[in-house]
Amino acid sequence: MRFFSARSEQRAWILLVAVFIMFPLIVGVFIAERVSEDRARGQLLGALDRASAVGFHSQILDHSAAILTVLRSLHHLPAHHTSPVDPLRLELVSGGTTTAITIARDSETPGEYWVYLPGSNWHHDPLGQEAGRISNAALDTLLPWPRH
């Protein structure tokens, strides 16, 4: 006596094959996202090491040294289903060169900020390639956030 019908065995094999195909693809996407973020963070931390000031609309911001110190605390944070809001485009000034970055507040977590390098990225995000997050509420007073 057969416990499973031929049709249910066929469905089980299809499901098993699908899992063996999909699992590596999903894992690969997560790895690619993390590698991309790590690379962007490395580039940004390098630019922060060279930077001597922070600009906004071509004007050097007061407290640039304090802003740079906070920006250097950039690190990876796992996703927690929030989003970036109030993006600011800043310039890291190093001698005669500048490196553009975008920083945005977290939509739900006070004192958490998303940091991006402008340009092409995995998700075609208009803010750029995510480089990590900063958890330091000092940026609320140090940066010229839009008033609501």
pLDDT in tens, 20-52: 888 888 877 778 787 888 999 999 999 999 999
Q: Are strands 53-56 and 97-106 parallel, antiparallel or unpaired?
A: unpaired
Ramachandran region of residue 119, left (φ > 0), alpha (ψ -120 to 50) or beta?
left
pLDDT digits (tens, 9 = 90+) for 76-102: 998 788 999 999 999 999 988 999 999
